[in-house]
Amino acid sequence: MIRISGVSKNFTLHNQGGTVIPVMAGAALEVAPGECVGLIGASGAGKSTLMRMVWGNYLAASGSIMVGGLDVAKAEPRQIIALRRVTLGYVSQFLRVVPRVPTLDVVAEPLLQLGVPQDQARDRAAGLLARLNIPQRLWSLSPTTFSGGEQQRVNIARGFAHTYPALLLDEPTASLDAANREVVLSLILEAKTRGAAILGIFHDEGARARVCDRLVDVTGFTPKVAA
Amino acid sequence: MSRMETLTTPLLQVEHLTKRYGTRIGCADVSFDLWPGEVLGIVGESGSGKSTLLSCLAGHLTPDQGRVIFDTRDGPRDVLAMGEPERRRLSRSDWAFVHQNPRDGLRMGVTAGGNVGERLMAVGARHYGDIRAKATDWLGRVEIAAERIDDRPSAFSGGMQQRLQIARNLVTGPRLVFMDEPTGGLDVSVQARLLDLLRGLVREMGLSAIIVTHDLAVVRLLADRLMVMKGGHVVESGLTDQVLDDPQHAYTQLLVSSVLQV
């Protein structure tokens, strides 16, 4: 479902004398349907960078990133937009929403984008919020005022609202209490059971052991620094 | 709805559009495609040519060079080659233009209901009851209470005026909306409400939109794609979050790093 090969990435800092920083070279990995692959490596090794290249908000300098038949590294913006709507989901570490939109609608939004009727989309959203222990009295409020952990759970609910065939998870269990961590892990396991291909970053080793089938150390993709 | 269709024809194809003011460049050699259901953001600082570009696209200014091909209900046509009456008809039936200042887009001496109804009459509606019912429905959609239908926009707050301008523009079911700084000059809380409203309308009506703004937070939330302009030229374009998170051009990097938080 996800196949990365020969991917490299540089950052060019035009406003700092055009410094070019190579951050990744020769990245390669595969995620099959129903499989969860965990990215590991020290902080700054490029886990999030690789994940963002798969999502398409970072440009790859070379290589190919196939997701459900589309090469994200070369695709047109509108193809990536369609991919994100239908095929590829992403639970980032930060919730970014239009202020004042009720939590229930924030979670239902990905389904509305797909043309799911509003009541059906809201039912699904309500089910997820209840499961993630967001009290019902908060559903009509905007999540911008919520605590960090609550915002993260809203973000997770939103990411799992549609049954994407491929999912990217960036630290989905960070800053969650034990009970909510369990809920998130079971959501991930259910997604695997229905055949989703998952690429994740988990600092929580227990969580990693529970859901990941394989680990890929991104340190192996660090460019060799020419002396 | 139409956001989901995989249509093969762009709604708008812009080719090498150039506008000069004497020897100064307004916008130069701008080309892009806009697809049905897509929202394109155009950002850049004051004087970058973004408003000139929008005015050329909407037919308010005549460009010196280039083509603007719109997929009309009768097939793709070069808008710039059209006669004035035909372009006027198109701008009433298929296009809408939301001005930064609602006073430029509203008739201030006409009631709220009249402002919305007038647009319907311009495309042929004649039945008073139908027009009034539709106007009431649209005021509701933009969150203006029905009892304000006979008030003039001069009695409205800035945010309400802007919502009324949106209702007036969208009531005829256009396919393409041009917006020039639609949230500029509004309180932050009013901006948020307007953003949510615009997003919902774009989704429900399958609209395509071109939004000119200098506010990167606005495009982050509204636009699918982004074009960055400087000195009349497009210096970078791409998926909105890619341009904002991994800007390639020196100017875009400066623009993004100059914002407190986007």
- Picking from B226, B182, B224, the residue whose alpha carbon sits closest to that of residue B207 is B224
CATH fourth-level superfamily of B12-258:
P-loop containing nucleotide triphosphate hydrolases (3.40.50.300)
**Higher per-residue confidence, A187 vs B184:** A187
ipTM of this predicted complex?
Answer: 0.91
Q: Which of B219, B237, B241 to mutate to test the interface with A (most CBs of A within 10 A)?
A: B241
The one-letter amino acid code at A76 reads E
pLDDT at B261: 58
* CB nearest to A57's CB, from B196, B245, B253: B245
Residues of chain B that touch chain A, judged by Cβ-Cβ distance less than 8 Å? 1, 3-4, 6, 35, 38, 189, 192-193, 195-196, 199, 203, 220-221, 224-225, 238-239, 241-242, 244-246, 248-250, 253-254, 257
Q: Which of A11, A81, A116 to mutate to test the interface with B (most CBs of B within 10 A)?
A: A81
CB B172 within 8 A of CB B88: no
Q: Which chain A residues have a beta carbon less than 8 Å from that of B248? A: 12, 59
How far is the alpha carbon of B15 from chain A, nearest alpha carbon, in Å? 18
Taking the C-alpha atoms of residue A175 and residue B260, their distance in angstroms, rounded to an integer, is: 26
CB pairs < 8 Å spanning A and B: 68
By CB atoms closer than 10 A (0-12, 13-18, 19+), residue B175 is: buried
- Picking from B253, B241, B231, B193, the residue whose alpha carbon sits closest to that of residue B28 is B231
Residues 6+ apart with CB under 8 A from A54: A2, A4, A65, A67, A72, A88, A168, A199
pLDDT of chain B, 262 residues: tens digit per residue:
344 444 578 999 999 999 999 999 999 999 999 999 899 999 998 889 999 999 999 988 999 999 999 999 889 999 999 988 998 889 888 999 999 999 999 999 999 999 999 999 988 889 999 999 999 999 998 889 999 999 999 999 988 999 999 999 999 889 999 999 888 777 777 777 778 888 888 888 889 999 999 889 889 988 999 999 999 999 999 999 999 999 999 999 999 988 765 4
The answer to whether the Cα torsion of A145, A149, A151, A154 is positive or negative is negative
Q: Do A115 and B221 touch (CB under 8 A)?
A: no
Domain locations in chain B? 12-258
How far is the alpha carbon of A49 from chain B, nearest alpha carbon, in Å? 10
A147-151, A210-214, B89-93, range with greatest mean pLDDT: A210-214
Task: Note the pLDDT tens digit of each residue in A66-89.
Answer: 999 999 999 999 999 999 999 999
Q: Do A14 and B250 touch (CB under 8 A)?
A: yes
